[in-house]
Structure 1
């Protein structure tokens, strides 16, 4: 990039792009939001005007053909993640793609055959947030003792039949949308991969999506992660990391408010009712901007990309196993 900022193009006017990622790009140190595309030109133009973006395109293909764009952010519906990411890489662009990166591991594996000089990453912004980084530092320090159990709950309520999260054929449902964060927490904090999983799914009779999924992931060495995720329960999210000496609680583990301080809590259990709890405040940040910088520095070669296409394929293997377990009604190995 010769010291210049990475020029980002955004595919579609999806809400997460307009409200989260584009502001993150603008707050980042390495990136600039330079173009946006929609299948409706007027939508792209309106978004460009609102967000101060120079170029607006009426098709994704026009954006991908722009030689002045270095990287693409892909927040399209799940079934379009791989096809458009492949198009973007073949057009010479690096791609930050929304999660989940595919509908299954076989589809995600297509990304491994693309040119290696173009980087692909899944938009798990949580790994760039200082609260997750600090929590893992505490785990690795041994302050919790031996981390043995991770408990995750993540829910919201959405019964709109027109919402893409409620459309089974394009990758809707709780596991795809938010369950991926819970299994990621196990991989991140245990520094390991699950060996086998078992899950229970409640499907919406109208949508066919999993509206509530519960699961247990076995990470070996008697390390367990269990979670409940739902698209039709009271909005709530909380992750607990429980060791032999202390428990660490991440208060807002996924949707940490942009530009606001957050808290993680430590409790040795010496007094019941959280009375022994100690709080650590994490300074305000924009986790989307932080991830843009992680990806940007990997593009320039300043830092390696630790979580690329191979990591995204592994995420899909775990999701595949969770779906397979629900269908089978028992344990499924992660292969």
Structure 2
């Protein structure tokens, strides 16, 4: 039977969630709540016909027929609402970032106490391409040990004056972490995934550009894992890019679209090795593997995975732990930025 979902809020990103649910058989959206009269009904008509509209979050949470909720409200409002949802015995899929590790722990503890699943909406982790890449990273003959991860996630919307002045991502009261939270979350998560979720020993982050309120709009970050390293750039003010490289001792794995794949239901990656040409006048690049996988839609894969967990009655503690670790890294990066990019240790 399909898991019954509710949506708390009508943010634009919730439209993507509705599309994701529409493609799976084990989930259905049965309710949408908004604090603005009539907004939920309009959202339902456009995105999930047949769902019930609620005039408040509390009214939806009181409906015992709804098993899981998706929370797309701004970061600053998320923790309090998530705790209420957990208390109502709803399984939680939340947007990210979480604002602080303290708030992340508060939400996770509330879910653990209520016996419900917690997961953040990092969709690329549910793309089968990740398993294929992990197999390469673990291949000591082909790849060797991983030495460095480099990634970029940037969008150019911050160059548009109307977006920069009106979008919630630029408002300290709603999204205080700016591009570090909205985009850099994915870079940090990918790096942790590559290093099997070991926390870095230290991080450094610089807000290269920021708003008058101090919301970062272009950042550079570094991470140390003993003798192994990582770096990333996240920006609202650079050309659209969401690429990643995994540098091994013997080869390189590259992805052009690590956050959201460029094609709806396929994803690709390359494994290459660079060598010296004659007299080192050229550096020829040999393609060791160039694979395109039939993956399904990663956003829908996430919904299906989460709904399967709900239906099973079992809680997978790995997902909330990954959320918490990612937020710990971002917290340390905020601290570093406040100190002008100084290295901050994670104990």
Q: TM-score range by the shorter chain?
A: over 0.9
Aligned with residue 6 of structure 2, among 1, 9, 13: 9
Q: Does 1:35 align with 2:35?
A: no
Which residue is equivalent to 2:191? 186
Tell me if the contact between 1:195 and 1:334 (Cα under 8 Å) persists in the aligned partners: yes
Which residue is equivalent to 2:17? 21
Tell me if the contact between 1:297 and 1:303 (Cα under 8 Å) persists in the aligned partners: no
CA RMSD of aligned residues (A): 1.9
CA distance in 1, matches of 2:199, 2:31: 38
How many angstroms does 1:286 deviate by?
1.2
CA distance in 2, matches of 1:309, 1:325: 24
CA distance in 1, matches of 2:284, 2:43: 48
Correspondences of 1:227-246 after superposition (within 5 Å): 227-246=232-251
* Local SS of the residue matching 1:29: coil
Moved more, 278-287 or 230-239: 278-287
Which residue is equivalent to 1:311? 322
* Local SS of the residue matching 1:314: helix
Which residue is equivalent to 1:167? 171
Residues 307 and 126 of structure 1: is their aligned pair in 2 closer, same or farther, counting only changes over 3 Å? farther
Correspondences of 1:141-290 after superposition (within 5 Å): 141-142=139-140, 143-159=142-158, 160=163, 161-172=165-176, 173-191=178-196, 192-220=198-226, 222-257=227-262, 259-270=264-275, 272=283, 274=285, 276=287, 278-290=289-301
Which residue is equivalent to 2:280? none
CA distance in 1, matches of 2:266, 2:315: 28
Moved more, 159-168 or 86-95: 159-168
Which residue is equivalent to 1:64? 61
CA distance in 1, matches of 2:295, 2:264: 5
Which residue is equivalent to 2:279? none
What is the CA deviation profile of residues 143-165 of structure 1, one whole-angstrom value per residue up to 9, with x for unaligned ones?
Answer: 31111110001101223211011
What is the CA deviation profile of residues 155-183 of structure 1, one whole-angstrom value per residue up to 9, with x for unaligned ones?
Answer: 01223211011112222411110111111
Moved more, 234-243 or 58-67: 58-67
CA distance in 1, matches of 2:24, 2:318: 19
Which residue is equivalent to 1:52? 49
Which residue is equivalent to 2:345? 333
* TM-score computed with the length of structure 1 as normaliser: 0.92
Aligned with residue 91 of structure 1, among 88, 99, 102: 88
What is the CA deviation profile of residues 176-215 of structure 1, one whole-angstrom value per residue up to 9, with x for unaligned ones?
Answer: 1011111111111111221110111124243521111111
Residues 284 and 118 of structure 1: is their aligned pair in 2 closer, same or farther, counting only changes over 3 Å? closer
* Local SS of the residue matching 2:312: coil
* Local SS of the residue matching 2:155: strand
CA distance in 1, matches of 2:131, 2:315: 17
* TM-score computed with the length of structure 2 as normaliser: 0.89
CA distance in 1, matches of 2:128, 2:228: 24
How many angstroms does 1:251 deviate by?
1.4
Tell me if the contact between 2:129 and 2:295 (Cα under 8 Å) persists in the aligned partners: no
How many angstroms does 1:275 deviate by?
5.5
* Local SS of the residue matching 2:318: coil
Moved more, 251-260 or 178-187: 251-260
- Provide structure 2 residue ranges, at least 5 long, that are not aligned to the other structure: 277-282
